[in-house]
Structure formats: C-alpha cells, structure tokens
Structure 1
Amino acid sequence: MTYPDYANLKLDWPAERVLRITLSRGSANALDMQMHRDLADIWRIIDNDRDVNAVILTGAGKFFSGGGDFFDLEPKIVADAEFRAMMWKDAKDLVRNIIECNKPIVSAINGPAAGGGAVGAILADVSIMARSAKIVDGHTRLGVAAGDHAAIIWPLLCGMAKAKYYLMTCKPIYGEEAERIGLVSMVVDDDKLEETSIEVATELARGSPSAVRWTKYAMNNWLRQAWPLFDTSLALETLGFTGRDVREAIASHQEKRDPNFDPDSHV
C-alpha cells in the first residue's frame, strides 16, 4: 500500500506489521486544516492495507497534540460559513473513520492532548498514557460545546459524572487520574511509553487478525449506537462558532487574559 507524502504525519514501522503514525507539526503538533483532513483520511487507507495488523498513534516531541491550531482555524470557523461546514464534515469523518478502521489502534499519549487533538488518543482501542502527560478538553473555555469526540466516548469510559465535570470545567486530567477513572487503558512512566506501546501493538499484531478485528467491530457497536449523541454535540459545537462567546474567547486568548462571558445569556 502506498501512502501519500504527508506534511505533518510521520510514518514508520517500529515492529513487524505495526504502523506508527507520529503527529508532527510545530512545537505542539496543533492541527491545521490539511493535517486534520489527513488524519481523518489515513484510517481508510490503513483499513485496506494488508501489511498492517496494528497501529500506534503518538506525537512528536513534548506534545501529543495541542488540538486545533487556534490562530489558523478559529478565525476562519467564526467568519466563514463554508469553512465551518467543511470542518464539521472533517470532524465527523475523523471520528467515524477511527471507529470503522478494522485494525486495532494503540495511542501512546506522550504529552498534552487537547480538544480535537485528543480524538485519536481517547478513541484508540488501547490508550497508553505517560505519567506526566495530560488530557484536557478545552471547548467550553473556547465558548463552544465539547463536540469533537467527547459525547460519544467519555461517559462510556469514565461515567457521566466525571465526564460532565471535566468537559464542562476544562480541567486537565493527568496520567494517574486518567487511568484511575478509566479514561485511558493504562499509565506508564514516561521513559517506558514507547517501549510499552510497541509491546502492546506487537501483541495485537501477532494475534488472530479476524478475532481481534471482529472483537473491535462488535465492541464499537456501543459507539455506533451513540452516534446521534456525537452528531448533536458536534452540531452544537459548530453552531457555537457563530456566537459571541467564541469571539470573546479568541480575544481573551490573544490578549492572554481570562474570558469575560456574558452571564445573562439566554441560550
């Protein structure tokens, strides 16, 4: 199978039949439009690649991914309805294609994973997190609903009470707490993350392909069943980019201050 020459996705083979995807863009591996689309589309290629039996998804440097590139994406989403619709479609494709990819996916969460950058980290079939890494869904801080992936998977993983608390407050979750509440499969010392992810992916790659893939397919029916929840959350996130709260959030980010949202909003 031939893969495109991605600008910001680095591909290598750390073990037999194990493909590793490394998010690599700037210091925070933030997603611009092209990187977001490439990350959504690559799972379709992997699904048909007979040489791949397992996948590792990780980030370059000190970040897994800082989420959407704030200065590249957010102003366009606010100002341009057509661009907003494109992002809505790409966000759906990213979640759907990860769920439908028949190969087991292992995420190696090496550093901060935020917002849209946490999609692959959380939706992976096995999520392995470095002890010092953190996960944060910053959507409400941005003035929009948590729509990228959270509604479809967080309540299943850590329960409704924890999911609501962390998604509505945008508080960060570090490795040990993420494992304790069930948000990730396991936490390991930082210097063991790469080794552990390769071990787990290799074990999956050496297993019965049909048994592993069909187990994933059956289990993911929980997510297919929850698709209307995700569809609603993503639509509300997209709608939020037309409101005044997101404009205040962008201004506060640029001015390095806390946002001053209207407490009397009747939305």
Structure 2
Amino acid sequence: MQYSEFRFLTFDLRANGVLLVTINRPEKLNAATNVLHRELAEIWLTVKNDPAVRTIVITGAGRAFCVGGDLNEEIEKLGKIDPIIEMGELALQIVYNMIHLDKPIISAINGPAAGAGLAVALTADISIIADDARVTDAHVNIGVASGDHAVMLWPLYCGLPKSKLYLLTADLIDGREAERIGLVSMCKPLPELLDSALELADRIARKPQRAVQWTKRCLNHWLRQAAPVLDLSVAYEGLNFMEPDAREGLEAFLEKRSPNFPSTR
C-alpha cells in the first residue's frame, strides 16, 4: 500500500528518517475496524520498502492508543468461518510483519490499549507508556482465548506467573505496573511521552543502520522461536468465536452489562 491509501493511519516524516505513525480514529478511541486491522498489518510492509524511513514511532490520536477491535463489527462474524479465519490471519500478520521488519519500532502508548491495539503496542521493539494509561488483554472477558500476541510475548517479557495472573483475570494494568513487571520498556508522564519516543527514535536513527537492523533481527529470533504459540492461540480464539460464550461476551459488552456465560451456568 502507498501512504495515501491508508484511511485510519496518518504519517509525519521527521528529520533523520523518523516516521511518526498515528492511529487516527479518535472518536471511537481508535477502535480497529476491518479496514484498520488490515492497515495495522500492511503499514510495516510499506515502511520496509521506504528507503527514507529508518525508525518508526506509533501512537494514537486523542486520548487512546487503540482499544482493540470494533466490537460492532466483531459480533457480525460470530459463527461465520470465513470472516473468523480472515480475522485470525490479520492478527498473525500484524505481529509477524512487525517482528520481521528490521527497522526499529517504538510505541508511545498514550492511553487505553487492548486487543489488536495492545498487540501493536507491545510487539514494538521499544514500548513507552504513559504512567496513567491502562492496558488489558481482555479476551477471556468476551469468551475467547487470548490470541493476538499475549501468550507468545508476555511470558518472555514478564514471566509466566505474571502472564497467567493478568491473562486469566483480564485485569487492567496501568503504566507504572506495566513497567514494574517488565511488560513495557519504560513509563513516562503523559506530557513527556511522545517527545521521549521521538527523541529515542532519532537517537537510534543516527546510529549505523545495518548494525541496528541486524541487532533487532537477531534479538527477534527469541520471538520467532515462540511463533507456534501464537499460531495456536489465534486458532483457539477463532474456534471460540463459534461458541455461545463468545456471543454472550460480546453482547454483554455492547449492552454494558455483566455477562452470564453458558459455560458457567
């Protein structure tokens, strides 16, 4: 895709090849439509082939980073195999395209992040979060297995005990706790967040590029070894979308009520 083809991402190329990418659907807390899901997968292929870009900073417009999939669209996929398979393929592409891109990615997590948004935020090579931003992998709250990225990445970041605590409960994690447990690279006050990310991106962009890129490539072999875990989790999530728990979870969320999952009755 060309930059002009993206509907929900905006671009600002700074000095030294630093590209600021902004997820731009602020009226919906940057919730990912089907189109935006695809754009979050495709953008890494676009910047890979842009010689002007050395490093990327990604953030969200308004008060959120990206709260995950737009559930008004997700509920339409329940029980339909083709849309669920397509959704899973995009989930894999988002993570794998980021991992396979040698150019460093820095996320500036300015507000709430979940689902696909959290996958982008935490698959970034360096993640900087606002101290009062809150994140969660809330898959179990809507009746589906934790797909996207978390069962692959979180154990490498913060260990199995914390991963199990937060993925099985879907509890919210603020920026300070995310930094404390090692889920993110660093935590900053919101007014300093974007400047800190851009300054760091500029520092890395002024280093020898082949050395930087090959260092990232080697480090990401740790993630590539865990790839079967991601594939399995995405497959299980897709299967769960065929079950009644997922319908109850999504309907309860949209109706702003507590779910009554059939499997717990």
Is the shorter-chain TM-score for this pair beyond 0.5, marking a shared fold? yes
Partners of 1:240 and 1:246 within 8 A in 2: yes
SS at match of 1:4: helix
Taking structure 2 as the reference length, what is the TM-score of the superposition? 0.96
Q: After superposition, what is the alpha-carbon deviation per residue over 1:58-91, rounded to whole angstroms, capped at 9, x for unaligned?
A: 000000001000112x222214211111111111
Cα deviation, residue 218, structure 1: 0.4
Give structure 1 stretches of 5+ with no counterpart.
none
Letter in 1 for 2:122: I
Partners of 2:55 and 2:201 within 8 A in 1: yes
| Equivalent in the alignment of 1:173 | 173
Alpha-carbon distance between aligned partners in 1 of 2:11 and 2:205, rounded to the nearest angstrom? 17
Cα deviation, residue 107, structure 1: 0.2
| Equivalent in the alignment of 1:45 | 46
Percent of pairs identical after alignment? 44
| Equivalent in the alignment of 1:28 | 29
| Equivalent in the alignment of 1:223 | 223
Partners of 2:79 and 2:243 within 8 A in 1: no
Give the alignment of 1:131-150 within 5 angstroms.
131-150=131-150
SS at match of 2:5: coil
| Equivalent in the alignment of 1:8 | 8
| Equivalent in the alignment of 1:182 | 182
More deviation in 19-28 or 75-84?
75-84
| Equivalent in the alignment of 1:57 | 58
Partners of 1:76 and 1:84 within 8 A in 2: no
Cα deviation, residue 253, structure 1: 1.6
Q: Is 1:253 matched with 2:253?
A: yes
Q: Which runs of 4+ in 1 moved over 6 A?
A: none
Partners of 1:65 and 1:117 within 8 A in 2: yes
Partners of 2:100 and 2:217 within 8 A in 1: yes
Partners of 1:65 and 1:114 within 8 A in 2: yes
Letter in 2 for 1:8: F
Q: After superposition, what is the alpha-carbon deviation per residue over 1:199-252, rounded to whole angstroms, capped at 9, x for unaligned?
A: 110011111101110110001001110000111001000111000101111221
Give structure 2 stretches of 5+ with no counterpart.
none
SS at match of 1:153: helix
Cα deviation, residue 45, structure 1: 1.4
| Equivalent in the alignment of 1:96 | 96
Letter in 2 for 1:180: R
Alpha-carbon distance between aligned partners in 2 of 1:255 and 1:107, rounded to the nearest angstrom? 32
Letter in 2 for 1:155: P
Taking structure 1 as the reference length, what is the TM-score of the superposition? 0.96
Alpha-carbon distance between aligned partners in 1 of 2:215 and 2:239, rounded to the nearest angstrom? 36
Alpha-carbon distance between aligned partners in 2 of 1:180 and 1:71, rounded to the nearest angstrom? 34
| Equivalent in the alignment of 1:70 | 71
SS at match of 1:29: coil
Count residues in correspondence.
264
| Equivalent in the alignment of 2:197 | 197
Alpha-carbon distance between aligned partners in 1 of 2:226 and 2:79, rounded to the nearest angstrom? 31
Cα deviation, residue 46, structure 1: 0.9
